[in-house]
Amino acid sequence: MNKNIIAIAIAAAGFIIGLAFLGSAIKNRNRADNTISVTGLGSNKFTSDLITWSGNFSRNSFELKSAYDELANDKKIIENYLVSKGIPKDKMVFSAVDIQKQFTYTNDSNGSSHQTFAGYQLSQTVSINSKEVAKIENLSRNITEIINLGIEFASSPPNYFYTKLADVKQQMIADATKDAKQRAEKIAENSGSKLGHLKRATMGVTQITAPNSTEEYSYGGTFNTSSKDKEARITIKLEYEVD
């Protein structure tokens, strides 16, 4: 009889303790869920202040020395042309000469493949980095003037950069944070609550695209270099307690 009473008492005590733990868990869960998570956006439009441009020129010959002499002469012509367009020599960077052997391939009547030496191809690249964006941009668009000088020249599209991007990012972070807080305050106000302490802040990656473009955002961030005018965006996610 006494053993049964003791067993019932232990079971009852365990049930009460279990209810206490369950009530505490529910209370803590509700407290943890009593938060607001919002995402704010910061954006900025700006124009690039640095441009990079490059072009490649080449010569072909069966004689290596002949090809090299012709390429060296082309380099002088290009250098003089760029100087005439207002480009200082110290802004021009000429790469080392690249030498490639060229071959033609044929098959004989038996189906065997043969290669025949077709001469040397020598090529070189000239690059310019400048803050005179408009000047270099115009130069890249009128590069046929070099071709008209008898030089086999291939121009690459210019790339555009912004040297004060760090300042732009700081302002965008501030704007995104302010935007997120205002959203959180509005949500709390509309729900009859009061915004509490900030629990967590998470910054997204910077996305830099051409204005009004259809470029897709990248998980690791996007950095457009093909457009002179750019638009940067960044997001900030804030999580607040709600009282």
- pLDDT the model gives residue 112: 83
Does the pLDDT at position 214 exceed 70?
A: yes
CB 53 within 8 A of CB 158: yes
Residue 16 confidence (pLDDT): 45
Q: For the chain, how many residues are written?
A: 243
Q: What is the mean pLDDT of residues 145-159?
A: 95
Position 13 pLDDT exceeds 50: no
pLDDT at 33: 64
**What's this model's pTM, rounded to 2 decimal places?**
0.77
Provide the greatest CA pair distance for the chain: 117
Q: How confident is the model at residue 215 (pLDDT cuts 50, 70, 90)?
A: confident
The residue-averaged pLDDT of 160-165 equals 96
| Per-residue pLDDT, 67 | 96
Alpha carbon 151 to chain centroid, angstroms:
35
Q: Is the pLDDT of residue 184 over 70?
A: yes
Per the model's pLDDT, the better-predicted residue between 198 and 109 turns out to be 198
Per residue in 28-49, pLDDT (tens digit) is: 433 446 889 999 999 999 999 9
CA dihedral 15, 16, 17, 19 (to 10 degrees): 90
The pLDDT of residue 210 is above 80: yes
Paired with 208 in beta bridges are 223, 232
pLDDT > 50? residue 243: yes
In terms of phi and psi (left: phi > 0; alpha: psi -120 to 50; beta: otherwise), the region of 192 is left
Which residue's structure tokens are 């980095």?
A: 129
To which H or E segment does residue 203 belong?
strand 195-203
Token code pair at residue 200: 């967590």
- pLDDT, residue 24, reads 41
